[in-house]
Copies of this chain bind each other. A is one copy, B any other.
């Protein structure tokens, strides 16, 4: 691994666990066995380092989901929906630092004035919502999912899993313990045949 990748990895961990302001360049440097000036050689400022971190997290998430859906095959839309939810929760545990970073407020604040930041965040959340939506649309086509607004329902499901992951990351409640209830609720939503679109 190159030094630049080393720095990026250390910075991801530190920004995720301590936040932007509470992470010093000296800290990041020490973790890679370098000196802070080295970081400023690779990244022109602390903010640029953060943007690179967020960009690499975006790439990682997009790649993970693309890999999962490249391998996995689903018998219908409902199973795809459940698979996506499971994979999201698995990823939130397996790549906890990514989701910790996304559950900090700093990226969203920076996004207000920085296009690069905003685009990374948009790519990440669009990836999530689009997959949920695709599963819902497919499910409506194959009959495994009833009438409902795919986009809004996708957002509602994302809100729920995002909230569950946040509660877990904040040490409030355990997301895993709600898994069965979540799946059960999704099936009830899917089974709905009466609602108008």
Contact = CB atoms under 8 A, between A and B. Distances in A.
Contacts of A19: 19, 21, 105-106
Given A159-B178, A163-B166, A172 B112 contact: no
Contacts of A100: 105
A50 B19 CA distance: 17
A156 interface: yes
A61 to B, nearest CB: 15
Interface centre among A148, A173, A175 (most CB of B within 10 A): A173
B192 A121 contact: no
Contacts of A160: 156, 159-160, 163
Contact size class for A? 35 or more
A119 interface: no
Interface stretch (A52-60, A68-76, A80-88, A182-190): A182-190
A159 B163 contact: yes
A115 interface: no
Interface in A125-177: 125, 148-149, 152-153, 155-156, 158-164, 166-167, 169-173, 175, 177
Contacts of A175: 159
A188 B192 contact: yes
User: 5 closest Cβ contacts across the A-B interface?
Assistant: A163-B163, A159-B163, A21-B21, A108-B170, A162-B163
